[in-house]
Structure 1
Amino acid sequence: MESSTSSVISDAINDYFSEVYALIELLIRRFCTNFYKSFAEVTAYRWTKVGLSVIGYLIIRPYIEAFFKKMHDRDRKKQQEKERAEKEKGKKAKVSPNALRGGSEGEGKVLGEVDNTDDELDGENAEEFATASGVPEWGKNARKRAKKNQKKLEREATGTKSSNMTEEEVMELLDWSDSEDEKKA
């Protein structure tokens, strides 16, 4: 039984490889003969066929190039839009600054937009105000320093400077007379 199965398998393998060899031999023979005949037995019909093929390709080529250029541009534009959308998506903040200032409602106030000033607040209300406005509690002294600094900046912006000089000293500075100029000279 073993010898019959092994002989059947070997016959099948031999048949397979002989068919593959015959196919390869046929392809090589046909290629060689057709290649030789394409140069040796050239007719006017064959030259006409080749010439029309070349002319047709030259006429159609610009349209083929335009088609592939359009396809490439369309793909590139889609890619650029996709990258732009991803970039814009990355720029958007998950939490808005107003939500951070005013808690979860997003109705926060900027430090300069505070309704009540430190002078108007009592000791108990100051603590509530600092936490309710969304501004971290810095303590009473820090709020006073910030308010003084803000007033100083406002004064510098308006150009008015406060000084500790008395009215007499200011009048002396403003009262220029010719006699004082002559004394100095």
Structure 2
Amino acid sequence: MSTPSPDLSEAASAAAEDFFVQIYEFFELIITRFFKNGYASIAQMSGKRWTKVIGSVVFYLIIRPYIEKLFKWMHDRDRRKEKEKRDKERAQFGKVKMTANSLRPGADDKGKVLGEVENTDDELEDEEDIMAAASGVPEWNKMARRRQKNYIKSVKKDQRAEDLSRDQIMELLDWSEDEVVDEKTKKEL
């Protein structure tokens, strides 16, 4: 009762072959029509049509620089409008960028750091009060300036201690070379 079914591999190969033949014929038709029609359109062209083609090309070559100028002008106009808009926004908000040095009293364009002071503290006391009141930025008080001076002095003392030679340190400590050697031998034992 079972009927023999046709071989599936033969049916699949026949379908694939038919598919690729149709694709090949389609592309062949397109290529032949392109060349045939392209040749016929050039070979059978009248003088009137040649005049139109040549006139179009010449017109394009003549008008192209003006087209480029038009697009450049449009681009520049847009950029100018953007720049004016940005400048207007900056003008509304005042100065956009402000440096930290501009917030300090007595800061000028040289950009001094807070620790850099040309005059002594005694000369600056009156000026600091005036500048602090004018700028609205609170200035260091006397205690803070004293702490800063003491810190700088201690740093300088530490640097002087580093600069001393080993003999000078031994002399300051009242140690002799013999005592140091004796202590080393005690540790080794």
**TM-score under structure 2 length normalisation:** 0.39
